[in-house]
Structure 1
Amino acid sequence: MKLPSITLCLALLCAPAAFTAEVISETPDTTVGKAGGGMTGLMLGAIGGPIGAVAGAAVGYFGGGALQESAGLAEPAYLVETDEGDVQRFRAPGQRFAPGDQVEVRGIRLEPRAQ
């Protein structure tokens, strides 16, 4: 009878942990624009040497984020307070939450809390 208990333990260890949390606020997430702008700025700025590369990356980083937000392509990111009192930032593609909503944290994503 040890085989089913070992299988159950392995299944529980491999399952992603889910923690309940509450959404505090919503912020725009422009990570993609910042990454793309930073890399493009780095490559174009490298023409001017190392200082140009650093300056180009900085300008591209901030410009890419602003461009993504002004184009309306920013995804929502949520500040969430966990049961332990920690405040963390999560993305939830395809999901919309309002401040005060109860959610479950599964890995790096948010899901609606099952009632």
Structure 2
Amino acid sequence: MTRSIALSFTLCVLLAPLCQADQIVREVPDTTAGKGFGALTGMMAGAAGGPIGAIVGAAGGFFAGSAVQTGIGKTETAYEVKNAQGEMSTVRSPNARFEVGQQVTRKGPRLVASEE
């Protein structure tokens, strides 16, 4: 009897991280770098028109930077991730690659493949 209790407890402890792992739903393009660069450049160019010009320039640069990054084919990788509670979020992953349906865990702002 005590062996079965110990075995059950051990299995619960070892399998709990797999049950709580996040899952990759789909891969999405990420243009955060282009948006940031475009907004900064647009703000500096628009500053010649005063504070309103800087705001308008930053907004225009934000959208233009994203479009330029997409247009030259330099988009990075982000993933839509579904957690154990069913909530969806987008996580950037410039270096690691994952497959749709793969189980992952979050380590700060990054994704790490779950050990199966």
Per the TM alignment, residue 94 of structure 1 is displaced from its structure 2 partner at its CA by 1.9
Identity within the alignment, %: 44
**What are the Cα deviations for residues 57-78 of structure 1, in whole angstroms up to 9, with x where unaligned?**
1110001111111112111101
Contact 1:92–1:111 (8 Å) recurs in 2: no
User: 2:25 is matched with which residue?
Assistant: 24
Q: Which residue of 1 aligns with 2:83?
A: 82
Contact 1:79 1:89 in 2 (8 A): yes
The count of residues paired between Structure 1 and Structure 2 equals 97
CA distance in 1 between counterparts of 2:65 and 2:109 reads 24
1:90-109 Cα deviation digits (max 9, x unpaired): 11222222221111111111
Counterpart-to-counterpart distance in 2, 1:101 and 1:70:
29
What is the CA-CA distance between 1:84 and the residue it aligns to? 2.0
Task: Detail structure 1 runs of 4+ shifted over 6 Å in the superposition.
Answer: none
Bigger helix fraction: 2
Question: RMSD of the TM alignment (CA)?
Answer: 1.3
Gaps of 5+ in 2: 1-19
Partner of 1:7: none
**TM-score, length-scaled by structure 2:** 0.77
TM-score (norm 1): 0.78
3-state DSSP class of the match of 1:49?
helix
Map 1:85-96 onto structure 2 (within 5 A): 85-96=86-97
